Amino acid sequence: MDGSMEFTMGLSEGVAWPWPIAVYLFLAGISGGALVVALAIRFFKGQTANTPLYKAAALISFVTISLGMLCLVLDLTNPLFFWRILVFYNFTSVMSLGVIALCAYIPLTAVLCLYAFEDEIKAIPALSILLPVIKLLKPIRRPLEILTLILAVSVCAYTGFLISALIRFPLINTAVLPALFIASGVSAGAAASKMVSVLVFKEDIHSSELKLLHGAEWPIMIAEILFIVMIAMSLATGNEGAQSAFAAFTSGVWANLFWVGVVGVGFLGPILVNFFTGKTFSHSAKAFYLSGVCVISGMMCLRLFILYAGQTYAI
C-alpha cells in the first residue's frame, strides 16, 4: 500500500538556498583551504618567520570568511534576525555546530593576520593601538595556530555536512560531500594563496614552498575527481530517486555547468596549461595565474552545481 499515494506540490517555490549560499560555501572553502595549506607547510617546514605564503593565506582567510558571513546574513529572510543564530543553539543541527566553529574561527583568522602583519602594523602609526594586543597574544602563537588549523579543516568539512543533511536531495545527501568540499576547498585555497603571495607579497614563483604546493595540488585534484566519480556512481547505481538525480550530470543547464565549468575549466584547464604547453609557457607567470584562476573558477562552479542541481533534482 505504501507509495499508493503521493503529492507533487509543495508549499515553498524554487530552491530554498539560492546562489548567495553557493558563494558562501565557496568563500568558506577558500578561507579554510588557504589556512590549511599555509599552516601545514609552516608546521611541516618548522618555519618561524612570516613567509609571503603565510601572509597571503592569513589575509585571504580573514577577507573571504568575512565576505562569506555577509552572504549568509543577507540570505536570511530578515537579515536583522541574524543575532538569533548567535544566541540560541541546537546541538543536533549542523548549522548550529558550524556557528560555534565560526565564532572561534573568525576571530582566530583576524589574530593570524595580526601575527602575519606585525611589521607592517608597526610601520603605520595609526595602527599602533594593535601593538599591545599582538604583544599579549604572541606567547600563545603556536597553540592558537594549531587550533586554527583544526578549525580551518572543520569549517571546510562543516559546509559539506551542512548541506549533506538535506535528505530530500540525492545529489547532496551523500557521505562523500564533506570530503569533496575539503579537497576542493584546499585546492582552491592553495591556488588563491599562491597567487596572492606572488602578486602582493613578491614571492618567487619557483620558490621551494610554491614548488611543494605545485606538487601537492595534483594528488588533491585526483582525490576531488575520485569523490565526484563516487557521487555519480552511487547515484547511477542507486534507488529510483538517486537514478533520477543522476540526470543532473547528463542533461539540462546544470549538466552544462558541470562539464564546462567543473570538468573543463577546473580540471582540464590546469592540466592542459601545465602539461600540454611548451616548457617555457608552462613555467611562466602567465601559466601560473591562468591555472590558478582555472582552479578557483572550477571550485565556484562545483559549489553552484552541487547546490542548484542538487536542489533541482529532489525526490
- What cell numbers appear for 182 in the block? 575539503
Do 282 and 246 form a contact (C-beta atoms < 8 A)? no
**Of 2-10, 36-44, 250-258, 298-306, which segment contacts other proteins by CB under 8 A?**
2-10
CB of 101 to other proteins, least distance (A): 12
Binder among 96, 208, 243, 251 for other proteins (CB under 8 A): 96
- 85 contributes a contact to other proteins by CB under 8 A: yes
Q: Which residues from 153-172 bind other proteins, rule CB under 8 A?
A: 163, 165-169
Binder among 43, 82, 276, 281 for other proteins (CB under 8 A): 82
CB of 166 to other proteins, least distance (A): 5
Binder among 92, 119, 132, 143 for other proteins (CB under 8 A): 92
Binder among 43, 45, 74, 93 for other proteins (CB under 8 A): 93
- 95 contributes a contact to other proteins by CB under 8 A: yes
- 78 contributes a contact to other proteins by CB under 8 A: yes
- 4 contributes a contact to other proteins by CB under 8 A: yes
**Of 5-13, 175-183, 213-221, 292-300, which segment contacts other proteins by CB under 8 A?**
5-13
- 2 contributes a contact to other proteins by CB under 8 A: yes
CB of 185 to other proteins, least distance (A): 21
**Of 25-33, 74-82, 136-144, 255-263, which segment contacts other proteins by CB under 8 A?**
74-82
- 16 contributes a contact to other proteins by CB under 8 A: yes
**Of 78-86, 188-196, 198-206, 243-251, which segment contacts other proteins by CB under 8 A?**
78-86
Site size toward other proteins (CB under 8 A) is: 43
DSSP per-residue letters across the chain: -TTS------SS-S-SS-HHHHHHHHHHHHHHHHHHHHHHHHHHHT--S--HHHHHHHHHHHHHHHHHHHHHHHHSSSGGGGHHHHH---TT-HHHHHHHHHHHHHHHHHHHHHHHTHHHHHH-GGGGGGHHHHHHHGGGHHHHHHHHHHHHHHHHHHHHHHHHT-TT-TTTS-TTHHHHHHHHHHHHHHHHHHHHHHHTT---TT-HHHHHHHHHHHHHHHHHHHHHHHHHHHHHTS-HHHHHHTHHHHSSHHHHIIIIIIIIIIIIHHHHHHHSS-HHHHTSHHHHHHHHHHHHHHHHHHHHHHHHHHHHS--
- 315 contributes a contact to other proteins by CB under 8 A: yes
How many Cα atoms are found within 13 Å in the side-chain-facing hemisphere of 234? 13
- 88 contributes a contact to other proteins by CB under 8 A: yes
Binder among 43, 89, 276, 281 for other proteins (CB under 8 A): 89
- What cell numbers appear for 215 in the block? 606538487
- 237 contributes a contact to other proteins by CB under 8 A: no
Between CA 306 and CA 170 the distance in angstroms is: 11
- 70 contributes a contact to other proteins by CB under 8 A: no
**Binding footprint of other proteins on the chain (CB under 8 A):** 1-12, 16-17, 75-78, 81-82, 84-85, 87-90, 92-96, 99, 163, 165-169, 239, 241, 311, 314-315
